[in-house]
Structure 1
Amino acid sequence: MKLSHALMASAAALVPATALAEAHMGERGRDGEVNIIYWQAPSTLNPFLSGGTKDVEAASLIVEPLARFDETGAIQPWLATEVPTVENGGVSEDLKQITWKLRDDVVWSDGTPFTAEDVKFTYEYCTHPEGGCAQITKFEGIESVETPDEHTVVVNFAEPKPYPYTAFTGGESPILQKAQFENCVGAAASSCTEENFNPIGTGPFVVDEFRTNDVISLSANPNFREEGKPAFASVNFKGGGDADAAGRAVMQTGEFDYAWNLQLAPDVIARMEAGGQGQAVAGFGPLLERIMLNNTNPDPSLPPEERSVIRPHPFLGEPAVYNAMSMAIDRPLLVEIGYGQAGRVTCNWVPAPEIYSSTSMTCDEQDLEGAKQMLEQAGWVDTDGDGVREKDGVELRILYQSSTNAVRQDFQALIKEWWEEIGFAVELRNVNSSVFFGGDAGSPDTFQKFYADVEMYANTFNGTDPQAYLANGLCDKAPRPETQWQGENISRFCMEEYDALWNELAETADPLARQSIAKALNDMYVQNGGMIPLVHRGRLSAHANDLGGVKLNVWDSELWNAADWYRISE
């Protein structure tokens, strides 16, 4: 299948109906081993301690939420019997309470019962005041969690919650086993290595061995609730390397069955597909390649507890500066060289779903002269002829970091050239992806710690409602020492008006009003120096021709239905 066709095809249609039927027949583990490669290697299997997609997705083979989002973006019950709504009585009329009924056929992989206490504990774990939780925005607005019986969870909100499906839904908010993690709350969370590397779960696989930033060995969960699943007895999950090697390993050499996030140029993908061993699958969700702007001061001369905490940044808070930086970028060229049909120009933090995508900004034309003029008028001038503009003794010198990846380094080189043309001095830095997207509070190189002026990466969100994602711009969600450098407000953006408008979104039920407020939040964040959006990216992965059951999911973990995967026999 050519890439252009992959973008338009439904992943569900890639497997014949007869083969799908065969997938539900036979004994658990009948198809041997499946080989998965993520060139960004997982560094933990506890998604609450990492904001990295690689870690969330690897963990989704083991730990599960109450509900998931399927390949169409629709919410589906998972560990719950149904999705609560006002109509079925699961959500109260005043929208201040949601009641989840748990399945009674679920046990943990160690054979112990899965109960409401595990769900309540997960809430307590992530919201502990002395801890740091990478997914804390999912629990925003919860006042308490009650457990009337072992199969009922009642979540109480402080205010009406028109969209109550953030906590315990999607791969980013799974359930942890209380018995395993009860001594790992608060400040102790990051030190529980055994628990974080070997979580007990309810998912289709269990961890046999976890080698951080390297290989994960898993085997079929003998206590998985669905008979005959998973079809694979074991998983060899390889991490590390690069996107090029991962793509070739599936589509050319056939060494692996699934390769994630093939951030490669279109012509490279086409050559790989010609190898005949596998095919690329792609789809557009909310994935955005962006440049985050540090709203704090990352000066290395500051003590570690102040660096990227002390406000303001020496110059990135000035509209003329960040607007000029955005104007200097040729986004259509970035799309062409980096992603082809798997990319689109965007000015938005939330590029999808379309109903939430703002149309108030344009950025599809580069304007270098306009950028120069904007800086000049704001008083940024090159007085000594060294090519770098300055004002009041401050020079426009920036450290621009990203993860190590061929496309990102191409982007860095081009953007450095454009920024230097308008009067910046730019130092480039790239960090190994496993480290950059890891959650190690002791590392100076994580994207959460943000020891740079600007940094580039991609991020997305689970589901089709951006409420929790937009909470990433709230003042109190910034990573800092007391949260063990966990938190989703990576730019340390902070505006009282933004916080107030987000609270309005959280309390608004009318769909059209929610769309309007979400767009306004998007615009407020971008126009006030939170980030520079670059490319709306399609999620592009590849699977072997004989791997059945794959349904590419851009709204949840790509491994969301690994229990349904199987080997197609010739």
Structure 2
Amino acid sequence: MMIKRHYLAMIAVALMATSCAPLGSAPAGGQSTSPAAPSTDPKALGVALQGEPQVLITSLGLGNQPNLGGDVQGAMHQKLATLDDRGELHAQLAALPSQDNGDWVVRPDGTMQTTYRLRNDVTWHDGTPLTAKDFIFAHTVTTDPELPVSQGKVAIYIDGLDAPDDHTLVVQWSKTYPFANGIVEDDLGPLPGHLIEEVYRTDKERFQQLPFWTTGFVGVGPYQMDEWVLGSHMTVKAYDRFYAGRAKIDTITFRFVENAPTVVANLIAGALDGAIPAAMDFQQSFLVKTEWDILG
């Protein structure tokens, strides 16, 4: 059987976030063709992850491998904005504020105000609408001195947040922050207050142990948690109500693999479709690519 796979240096956003069907090629020579029946077979992707995440929201330092959580977080969660592989900024959960549209105000004393106008079609994976209060709650959590939170890159510049309505988030800045038009860090990302805020207010120790941070994660991204088998794998499935449309890949399974040789063997055998970058070094990646090229 001819095998032709594209080496996955990382999980591409295109595989996780877009549901638009690829454009078909025009028939050659002016010939007309009947459209092919859409496939009903589930589309699945298997990816190696070297190690097992201990936490999925990386800004809350509850685990000692935050990089692994960050590797899979993008499949299940989103932020105000994101950077593509060329470093270009793109809106996610809110329109990008600018001085031209009046949503980014820089005062003479260097303080600032930015207004993020949230999308009104975003829901958490349990169906609850995303609101500006979810960002305020998250900021409260990630700046709480009683929690083992990571040092925020953005939070130290923020004087306060306000939600004049469910879809408007206003941020006051204590000094000029040049990247305020698109916050891509976790410390100004949303958390589902309707699910976990009551525990946070009453028992912070239990709050840190909630299944939400791991096996019970609920986000706003293109994929939702399907299962997490400790010591084995995590499977996420396409979220039907994702605002940009259902993802084209139905499921992604992240398999926890402890060593690179096992990753290489599984990739060459076709048991896996790709690997998170840290799972293999350059030479191992080159070996896999060479084998795939030989197989066709």
- TM-score w.r.t. the length of structure 1 is 0.41
Matches within 5 A, 1:37-52: 37-50=48-61, 52=66
2:180 equivalent in structure 1? 164
Answering whether residue 118 of structure 2 is matched by residue 102 of structure 1, we say yes
Aligned to 1:480: none
Q: Which of 18, 21, 24 in structure 1 is aligned with 2:23?
A: 21
1:303 corresponds to which residue?
Answer: none
**Could you say if the C-alpha distance between residues 77 and 265 of structure 1 is closer, same or farther in structure 2, counting changes exceeding 3 Å?**
closer
Give the Cα separation in 2 of the matches to 1:197 and 1:134: 21
What CA distance in whole angstroms lies between the structure 2 residues aligned with 1:28 and 1:173?
Answer: 40
| Residue number in structure 1 paired with 2:89 | 75
1:244 corresponds to 2:288: no
Q: 2:217 is matched with which residue?
A: 199
Change (3 A) 1:133 1:27: farther
How far off its partner does 1:96 sit?
A: 1.4
Match of 1:97, SS state, is strand
The one-letter code matched in structure 1 to 2:56 is L
Name which of 146, 149, 169 aligns with 1:133. 149
Q: Displacement, 1:264?
A: 4.6
Q: Output the CA distance in 2 between the equivalents of 1:128 and 1:28.
A: 49
Which of 163, 166, 170 does residue 154 from structure 1 map onto? 170
Matched residues in 2 for 1:153 and 1:83: separation?
A: 12
Q: Which amino acid aligns with 1:42?
A: P
Match of 1:36 among 42, 47, 61: 47
Deviations 1:41-83, CA, capped at 9 Å, x for gaps: 2122232334621111212211110100112101110011x21
Q: What's 2:195 paired with?
A: 180
Q: How many residues align?
A: 259
- CA distance, structure 2, for counterparts of residue 255 and residue 219 of structure 1: 19
Q: Deviations over 1:229-274 (max 9, x none)?
A: 2112222111132223223423x11211220124655443332222
| Aligned position for 1:535 | none
Q: Which residue of structure 1 lines up, in the alignment, with residue 237 of structure 2? A: 219
- Higher RCO, Cα 8 Å, sep 6+: 2
Residue 86, structure 1, aligned to residue 99, structure 2: yes
1:233 maps to amino acid:
D
Q: Note if contact 2:154-2:185 (Cα within 8 Å) is conserved in structure 1.
A: no
| 1:190 corresponds to 2:190 | no
Cα offsets for 1:104-132 (capped at 9, x unmatched): 11111111111111111111111123112
CA separation of 1:246 and 1:91: change in aligned 2, threshold 3 A: same
Q: Once the two structures are superposed, what CA deviation does each residue of 1:264-313 show, in whole Å capped at 9, x if it has no partner?
A: 5544333222211799xxxxxxxxxxxxxxxxxxxxxxxxxxxxxxxxxx
Conserved 8 A contact 1:209-1:216: yes
In structure 2, the CA distance between the partners of 1:35 and 1:162, relative to structure 1 (3 Å rule), is same
**Partner in structure 1 of residue 18 of structure 2:** none
Deviation at 1:194, TM superposition (A): 4.2
From the superposition, tell whether residues 84 and 143 of structure 1 become closer, same or farther in structure 2 (CA, over 3 Å): same
Could you say what secondary structure the match of 1:181 adopts? helix
Q: For the structure 1 residues 277 and 47, does the alpha-carbon distance in structure 2 shift closer, same or farther, using more than 3 Å as the test?
A: farther
Conserved? CA contact 1:130–1:187, under 8 Å: no
SS at match of 1:128: coil
Deviation at 1:28, TM superposition (A): 11
- In structure 2, the partner of 1:550 is none
Deviations 1:357-400 (A, max 9, x none): xxxxxxxxxxxxxxxxxxxxxxxxxxxxxxxxxxxxxxxxxxxx
2:127 is aligned to: 111
**1:288-327 matched pairs, under 5 angstroms:** none
Question: What 5-or-longer segments of structure 1 have no aligned partner?
Answer: 1-5, 13-18, 280-544, 546-570
Conservation of the 8 A alpha-carbon contact between 1:109 and 1:206: yes
Give the number of the structure whose alpha-carbon radius of gyration is greater: 1
Q: CA deviation at 1:191?
A: 1.8
For residues 269 and 159 of structure 1, do their structure 2 counterparts lie closer, same or farther at Cα, with a shift above 3 Å needed? closer
Whether contact under 8 Å (1:56, 1:171) holds in the other structure is: no
Q: Specify the code of the residue in structure 1 equivalent to 2:217.
A: P
Question: SS in structure 1 opposite 2:59?
Answer: helix
Identity %: 21
Are the counterparts in 2 of residues 39 and 241 from structure 1 also a CA contact under 8 Å?
Answer: yes
Give the secondary structure class of the aligned counterpart of 1:130.
coil
Instruction: Report whether the alignment pairs 1:273 with 2:275.
Output: no
For residues 29 and 89 of structure 1, do their structure 2 counterparts lie closer, same or farther at Cα, with a shift above 3 Å needed?
farther
Across the aligned residues of Structure 1 and Structure 2, the Cα RMSD in angstroms comes to 3.2
C-alpha change, 1:29 and 1:59, in structure 2 (3 Å) is farther
Quote how far apart the aligned CAs of 1:216 are: 0.8
Structure 2 Cα separation of the partners of residues 63 and 236 of structure 1? 16
Structure 1 residues 173 and 98 mapped into 2: Cα distance closer, same or farther (>3 Å)? Answer: closer
Alpha-carbon contact 2:50-2:279 (below 8 Å) kept: no
CA–CA distance in structure 1, aligned partners of residues 40 and 294 of structure 2? 23
- Aligned residue for 2:137? 121
**C-alpha contact 1:37 1:238 (8 A) present in aligned 2:** yes
TM-score (norm 2): 0.76
